[in-house]
Amino acid sequence: MKKNNNYENQLALIQEDNINVSTTNEGKDFLILLSGIVCIVLIFLFSFSFLASLYIDRMPVETQLKIESLFSVKQHIKTDNKYSKKILQLNHLKEVIIKNDKNLQNKSKFDINILTNKEINAMISPDGSIIFTSGIIEKNLTEQELAFVLAHELGHYAHRDHLKTISKQVGIIALCLITGQSSHMQSIVQGISETEFLSHSRKQEKEADLYASRMLVKIYGTNNGGKNFIKRLKDNEKTPEFFSYFSTHPSWEERYKLLEAQ
């Protein structure tokens, strides 16, 4: 009987060392695979956007204007008459800024529109139209603060950020098309591209802030208008700072420190 039990024990020992099961660790396998994909995607995106930036920075003005005309948004926005005085003030500030930067001269007309929206925001469309929300206008910003916001948006245009963003999105779409056969592969590629896109966008925002700050110094001799504006928004900010990693903009705190260092 004792001998019989040994037989079962021996079998248990043999089974421990099962040659039919693969000994590869799936987790390790996945990490190697994932790091390979991340490297390929990042190399593709970096080289694509590097080459695109190289071309965009040297692009002739005529080509730039042709591309921009494809993205016109002018007909979609109607400004309320009650903001006509503000529009006049903004147009005056715009002329002053354009006078101080050759990169902005003889390009778009930079039409200024005010969109009825409670959010505090301003943006520039690819065709050079500048849109302020009614939320930011009703904040009663000082002239220097308004000039900072306007110069920030014009900074994006001067750096040709709109064209660089379009080229980046073309790169992401191309990658998604290549990997479209596998939905899982596509979700990883999208995730990596989006993360890289956000980080690139935050970099562009910082450069636009620095441009606006330099412009204020040129016009008023100080960048206090920019610092005051950002401080105002920083003090009202309730979301934690780490949320900026999910955003296209750096945190207000970071932007304030950037201007202070100037």
Partner 1 sequence: MLDLIILILLLLLTYGTGSYLEKRHFKNIQQREIALIRKPIISFGAKKWTTNKKIKKIELVAGEVVISGDYFKNFVASLKNFFGGRLTPFESIMDRARREAILRMREKAKYANIIVNVRIESVMLSDLYNPQSIPQCAIIAYGTAITYEKEQ
Residues that bind partner 1 in the complex, under the rule CB under 8 A: 7-8, 11-12, 15, 18, 20-22, 24, 26-27, 29-30, 33-34, 37, 179, 181-185, 187-188, 190-192, 194-195, 198, 245-246
CA separation (Å) from 40 to 32, 150, 164? 12, 39, 21
Give the C-alpha separation, 190 to 198, whole Å.
12
- What does the alpha-carbon distance between residue 94 and residue 219 come to, in Å, rounded to a whole number? 12
C-alpha span between 187 and 180 (Å, rounded): 9
Q: Is 221 left (phi over 0), alpha (psi -120 to 50) or beta?
A: left
d(CA 216, CA 223): 5
What's the min distance (Å) between Cβ of 90 and partner 1?
Answer: 34
Name the residue nearer to partner 1 (CB basis): 170 or 178.
Answer: 178
Least Cβ distance, residue 166 to partner 1 (angstroms): 21
C-beta of 111 vs 196, nearer to partner 1: 196
129-135 long-range CB contacts below 8 Å, 24 or more apart? 129/72, 129/73, 129/74, 129/77, 130/90, 130/94, 130/154, 131/73, 131/77, 132/90, 134/80, 134/83
Task: Determine the angle formed by the axes of helices 161-178 and 183-220, rounding to 10 degrees.
Answer: 170
186 or 224: CB nearest partner 1: 186
If the CB atoms of residues 43 and 51 are measured against partner 1, the closer one turns out to be 43
Q: Which is nearer to partner 1, 134 or 179 (CB)?
A: 179
Q: Looking at beta carbons only, is 73 or 185 nearer to partner 1? A: 185
Answer for the pair 202, 244: CB distance below 8 angstroms, yes or no.
yes
Q: Which long-range contacts (CB under 8 A, 24 or more apart) does 257-261 make?
A: 258/206, 258/209, 258/210, 259/209, 259/213, 259/223, 259/226, 259/227, 259/230, 260/227
Rounded least distance, CB 125 to partner 1, Å:
25
* Minimum CB distance to partner 1, residue 169 (Å): 16
Query: To the nearest whole angstrom, how small is the minimum distance from the Cβ of residue 248 to partner 1?
Result: 11
Shortest Cβ distance from residue 10 to partner 1 (Å)? 10
Residue 75 Cβ vs partner 1, minimum distance, rounded to whole Å: 33
Nearer to partner 1 among residue 30 and residue 50 (C-beta): 30
